[in-house]
Every structure is written in C-alpha cells, then in structure tokens.
Structure 1
Amino acid sequence: MMLSVLINKIGVAQEINWVTFNEALELQKKTPKKIMMDVYTNWCGPCKMLDRNTFHNKDVVEYVNEHYYAVKFNAEGNEEVSYDGKTFSNPNYNPDLTNRRNSPHELSRYFQVQAYPTIVFIDEKGKLIFPLRGYKTPTQLELYLKMFKNDDHKGMDTQEKFNEYYKAFQYEFEG
C-alpha cells in the first residue's frame, strides 16, 4: 500500500485493478460493489484508444478502483464464464483468428453488446444495469461511473429525465 501512495506522489501512471468476470462475481459475494466490464476485441482501434486514453486517466483509475470491480472481457475470446445460472463460452472460436475478427462470445450477446468497445455496468447483485457503447473520454465516462455507482439511473425512465441529469451534472475528472 505504501508503494502505491509513493508512486502516485511521484506521478507514475496508476493502473486499474483488472480482474476476470468470474473473480468479480466472487468478490461481489464478499464485498458488494458494482462491476464495470470493458468488452473489447483484439482488433478494435477504439478499444485500444479507450484503454490508452481513458483507462489510464488518473481520475478514472482512482474512481474505478475505489467504487467498482473492473473487468476486461474479450468479446471474441474463448474464456468460459459462469453467470446467472448458465455457462457461457465461444463454441465457434477459431484460434487462428486471435487478432482478427472472430466469433462473438455468448456472454457478449447476452449483455446486448453490438459494437466495440462497450462498457457493461452490472449491479451489486450481478444484474445488468446498462451496456454503454463506444469510445468514451474520461469526462464522458465520469457521468456514467457516478450515475450508476450512486444509483441515480433508477427512476430515469425517460430521455427527458436523463437530459436533466446530464445538464446538471458537475464534472470533476480532468482529461
């Protein structure tokens, strides 16, 4: 712990504490927190930009590490995942296509992922909150990180209510 404090003071980039989806679900049982899952592919340029520009932003790193379990999930990978009483895999995965377009993982489809990157937010009970599509800057992501963390999305049943929230939101992240 002292080393990370020292590193922060001298300005070396801090990292998000990424875990697997299965690990995040286990961690939730002991200490309930929401999950932020970065659903990416190996070939996706905007996914790499999100990782480089947003997930290495100091404010994003600190907020995510404190308030979420963070998961990186390859939407076209071959990891087997147990979730919601089911086992998800990628039966059509082709190892020869590891860095090119491959078959979509069953869990990606389950979470309504239709574009990459998508950041999937999951509540403390392991239920889907929302799949947020596309590249987001640190300040764009801040709105959603805080809205879902604080459950402000509950009761936002119209676009008008979201627009009011958006207009009133006080941004704090840099970048």
Structure 2
Amino acid sequence: MRTALFISALAFLGLCFTLPAALSPAPKESGIQWITFAELAKKQKSKPRKVFIDVYTDWCGWCKKMEASTFKNPVIVKYMNENYYSVRFNAESKDPIEFNGKKYTNTGGTHQLASFLLSNKLSYPTTVYLNDDLSLIQAVPGYLDAKTFEMVVKYFGEEANKTIPWPDYQQTFVGEVK
C-alpha cells in the first residue's frame, strides 16, 4: 500500500514539473526573419534599412540547398536579421506584388518583378541587394555557401562596395563563418 502511494505521489510530482513545459508553445524557430513585400513597404517607412531578396523557384535544387544550409548558418542569420530586411521571392509566383510603388504580376512563367530585379537575366538562385531607398546595389546569381555569402552580404551591408574594389575586399576579408 505504501509503495503504491509513493509511486502515485512521484507520478503526480512528475506531471507537475513536465506538464507546463509540454503545454507551453514551442520556441520560435531561429532563422532569418523573412518578410513579405507588403511588410517590407511598411518597415521601410518607419525604419529604412538595406534589403536582401532571395529570388528562387520551387524546382531549383541549388535554391533548396542554399535555403537548407547557407540561410541556416547562425552567423548568417544573426547578421541578416540585424542589418537587412529579408524577402524570399518565388520567381514563378502567381500573386500580384506591389513593390516600390509599382504593381507587378506573372503574365507567363516568370513573375514581372523577378524579371525587373534580375534585369531579365533569369538565373536561380539569385540574391538581390538593395539600398534603403530600394535602389539596386547588385544582383548576384548562383549558389553561395555560407562563407562566400557572408563576404558578399557584409561587402554590401557595410558599404565597402563604395570604397573598396571587390577583388581587394576578397583578399582582405576575415569572416566569422567557419
């Protein structure tokens, strides 16, 4: 009898400690804080900053690899969330998008906004970097591993592109990604 009572008391105490943790919401997944173009428009009005756009397609294997590895690297996540507004944009999306005061649609296979951002040089993935006034800094086509991506986003994010040629920056850059 005492053993059964003791086991029941232990089970009750165990529930008291584990139930609150089980009922609490799961922690928010840490990663790049992706926003929509509509959210971007609002944020740019209140607190302008540089913009990063990941232009991808659903069928692109290198896009998926970049999403699974490069965009999950903790160094990349931290830097992007602190220095850029980040938008993931499916170049084949059917949704109309308003960007910088103009409406873009998909009139065929490729969205007009993708064609505009990539200057009609459609290649996926392409990472697009914009100034805080939404003017184009650079579109960089192709897969970028975390080390290379860090170098590129910091080159534009820290405005080194205004004073240092890219080859010189590449030679002197010391990144945090291991």
Output the TM-score relative to the length of structure 2.
0.79
State the one-letter code of the partner of 1:126: L
1:62 is matched with 78
1:172 matched to 2:176? The reply is yes
TM-superposed deviation, 1:13? 6.3
C-alpha offsets along residues 117-139 of structure 1, whole Å, 9 cap, x if unaligned? 00111110111111111111111
2:67 is matched with 51
Q: 1:125 to 1:89 in 2, by over 3 A?
A: same
1:82 is matched with 98
Alignment: residue pair count: 150
Gaps of 5+ in 2: 1-26
C-alpha offsets along residues 6-60 of structure 1, whole Å, 9 cap, x if unaligned? x7xxxx9621111112311321111111111110000000000000010111111
2:31 is matched with 15
The separation in 2 between residues aligned to 1:19 and 1:13, in whole angstroms, is: 15
1:146 matched to 2:162? The reply is no
TM-superposed deviation, 1:63? 0.8
State the one-letter code of the partner of 2:155: M
The separation in 1 between residues aligned to 2:35 and 2:177, in whole angstroms, is: 24
1:114 is matched with 122
1:3 is matched with none
CA RMSD of aligned residues (A): 1.6
TM-superposed deviation, 1:110? 0.5
Q: Report which of the two structures shows the higher radius of gyration computed on alpha carbons.
A: 2
Q: Does the residue aligned with 1:55 lie in a helix, a strand or coil?
A: helix
1:71 matched to 2:98? The reply is no
The separation in 1 between residues aligned to 2:71 and 2:115, in whole angstroms, is: 24
1:162 matched to 2:162? The reply is no
TM-superposed deviation, 1:141? 0.4
Q: 1:169 to 1:143 in 2, by over 3 A?
A: same
Q: Does the residue aligned with 2:51 lie in a helix, a strand or coil?
A: strand
Output the TM-score relative to the length of structure 1.
0.80
C-alpha offsets along residues 81-136 of structure 1, whole Å, 9 cap, x if unaligned? 222332111022xxxxxxxxxx0110111112520000111110111111111111
The separation in 1 between residues aligned to 2:48 and 2:141, in whole angstroms, is: 25
- Higher helix proportion (structure 1 or 2): 2
1:39 matched to 2:52? The reply is no
Q: Does the residue aligned with 1:140 lie in a helix, a strand or coil?
A: helix
Alpha-carbon contact 1:13-1:56 (below 8 Å) kept:
no
Structure 1 stretch displaced more, 40-49 or 104-113: 104-113
Alpha-carbon contact 2:41-2:100 (below 8 Å) kept:
no
